[in-house]
Amino acid sequence: RNLISQETFKFHFKDLRYAKGRKDTFLCYEVTRKDCDSPVSLHHGVFKNKDNIHAEICFLYWFHDKVLKVLSPREEFKITWYMSWSPCFECAEQIVRFLATHHNLSLDIFSSRLYNVRVPETQQNLCRLVQEGAQVAAMDLYEFKKCWKKFVDNGGRRFRPWKRLLTNFRYQDSKLQEIL
């Protein structure tokens, strides 16, 4: 299983307003098949920026090359991302194009922090993601716990929220709602 360390998670996913020194994006993903009443997990793991390619694009390349070929186009699939940063405008644009050509896929994006949302193109492309059917939301306590449990080498320890997690979530969420 592709897990991240507790220290990496706490450093990179901390939902700070100003996150200095956090240049990498981590993307924890799960791909499920919508099967009757309960989804069936097919793949999960972690991507991070690599060789100047953003984590979202690494996922899309991997998904296209390794997963899409074996999925039935007649079945519906759900992709869930837990990200340390929301997508930049260029990545959001590529994700929009990806969703537009794969109608049997849905995408939920939960991000710890908003990336460069003062840039109008970033705001526009986050809106375009939603218009294309993606759910875009700030990570709240529930998502942090879920991410910790599934994607962190946690040694069986429960997630312990950091100070101001809920306050910072409300800030990130309100900024995102203003944009959307």
What's the rounded Cα separation, in Å, for the pair 148 and 104? 28
Single out the catalytic residue among 56, 76, 121, 178: 56
DSSP state of 20: T
CB within 8 A of 63, min separation 6: which ones? 31, 79
Q: Is 75 a catalytic residue?
A: no
**What is the set of active-site residues?**
56
